[in-house]
Structure 1
Amino acid sequence: MGCAISGLAAKAEFGDRTTEEAAGAAYPSEDQIQMIKESWKVIQDDIAKVGIIMFVRLFETHPECKDVFFLFRDVEDLERLRTSRELRAHGLRVMSFIEKSVARLDQLERLEALALELGKSHYHYNAPPKYYSYVGAEFICAVQPILKERWTAELEEAWKTMFQFVTSLMKKGYEEESNRQRHLALSPKERPDKKNTAL
């Protein structure tokens, strides 16, 4: 596996924070945004490959993540995963989200809306927030060999900052949707009275 932040180290690097702490995740600096955008120009040529590597590594380091993906839940052969059309398609969807995130780094409101919406949709996929930080860690491990000598500690920190920011918003979106669904599940008698709460 070889990547320093893969596996258990991902939790330490990316954190496993509460919502209140996550809401204060740092936004990448102007210099970090430029570094991310420049590196993305190289990475985007290999997005299908990166997506597959990222998810195969994710399932290697965190086999429990396969429970979220019913298509891959019972697949033990990692070679079969590497050639899976479904995994390739999912990897491309995730890479597309990363591409949109990078494109919106200069448009904070649009980036926030994108990440919150993705968090809400992950509630319906039954994909809990505890897995989100793992994807960022595996993405970083997957792109290091592609960027070769361009990869620096500063660039790694920039990508980590972006993923921490985005995953904190996804977690917030997941929790908002979870709360909304719980509220909808209550009978009208059990719901808080809106007239009384306005006082």
Structure 2
Amino acid sequence: MGCAISGVTPKSGGDGNADVGLPHLSDNQIQMIKESWKVIRDDIAKVGIIMFVRLFETHPECKDVFFLFRDVEDLERLRNSRELRAHGLRVMSFIEKSVARLDQLERLEALAIELGKSHYRYNAPPKYYSYVGAEFICAVQPILKEQWTPDLEEAWKTMFLYVTGLMKQGYQEEERMRLQQDSTSPKERPDKRNTAL
């Protein structure tokens, strides 16, 4: 049982972006995730910090997305950062909402797509999304101890692949909309007064 998300992967086009082939969670996987979340949620602040410190250790390029942490080299300083704790709690809150909506996929889809759109506005590209899921899995294994099984790991991996696939869709929708807006914005339109006759 490693800490990387592997196995079930969304279908993707040649550019590596997910399309309609998002993974499917079985009823049994949903139940396993919900049961394990009852234990994890008691340590959400701790998990959030561990997850992001590990993310910055294993993928230091991710810090470029985070304005507040971009220049922080001291990981101990990060562990004690109020800002990192706050961001970790926001991510854990999103995970909690995702778990709660596993039985209401339309609501989960809307939530994840909207988060993907906001990540476009934050300039946080989809290539980083799967890293967070992998670090979450590493952070919760010690908390769940003997409850952690290969089946539970696969369930969490599948959930993260599903959610990040939807986030990528949201990111791409926002990107397309912004590009269309930019191409039709007034500054791009020729000024009729200045055109040659």
TM-score by length of 2: 0.88
State whether structure 2 residue 79 is matched by structure 1 residue 55. no
Pairwise CA distance, 1:187: 2.5
State whether structure 2 residue 168 is matched by structure 1 residue 182. no
Partner-residue secondary structure (3-state), 1:4? coil
Indicate which of 139, 143, 167 corresponds to 2:140: 143
Partners of 1:23 and 1:169 within 8 A in 2: no
State whether structure 2 residue 28 is matched by structure 1 residue 31. yes
Partner-residue secondary structure (3-state), 2:73? coil
State whether structure 2 residue 33 is matched by structure 1 residue 4. no
In 2, Cα distance between equivalents of 1:14 and 1:69: 29
For these two proteins, the number of residue pairs brought into alignment is: 185
In 1, Cα distance between equivalents of 2:33 and 2:148: 11
Partners of 2:49 and 2:85 within 8 A in 1: yes
Q: Which amino acid aligns with 1:151?
A: W
In 2, Cα distance between equivalents of 1:33 and 1:141: 19
Q: Which amino acid aligns with 2:96?
A: E
In 2, Cα distance between equivalents of 1:53 and 1:151: 18
Quick one: structure 1 residues 64 and 174, their matched pair in 2 at CA, closer, same or farther if it must change by over 3 Å?
same
Partner-residue secondary structure (3-state), 1:127? coil
* Aligned equivalent of 2:103: 106
Q: Which amino acid aligns with 1:66?
A: K
Indicate which of 60, 65, 69 corresponds to 2:66: 69
Pairwise CA distance, 1:25: 1.4
In 2, Cα distance between equivalents of 1:40 and 1:138: 16
Q: Rg: which structure is higher? A: 2
Partners of 1:37 and 1:102 within 8 A in 2: yes
Unaligned runs of 5+ in 2: 190-197
Structure 1 range deviating more: 78-87 or 14-23: 14-23
Partners of 1:25 and 1:168 within 8 A in 2: yes
Quick one: structure 1 residues 169 and 37, their matched pair in 2 at CA, closer, same or farther if it must change by over 3 Å?
same
Pairwise CA distance, 1:20: 6.5
**Structure having the larger proportion of residues in helix:** 1
Cα deviation 1:79-129 (Å, max 9, x = unaligned): 000000000000000000000000000001000000000000000000000
TM-score by length of 1: 0.87
Q: Which amino acid aligns with 1:52?
A: I
Partners of 1:43 and 1:146 within 8 A in 2: yes
In 1, Cα distance between equivalents of 2:30 and 2:82: 32
Unaligned runs of 5+ in 1: 192-199
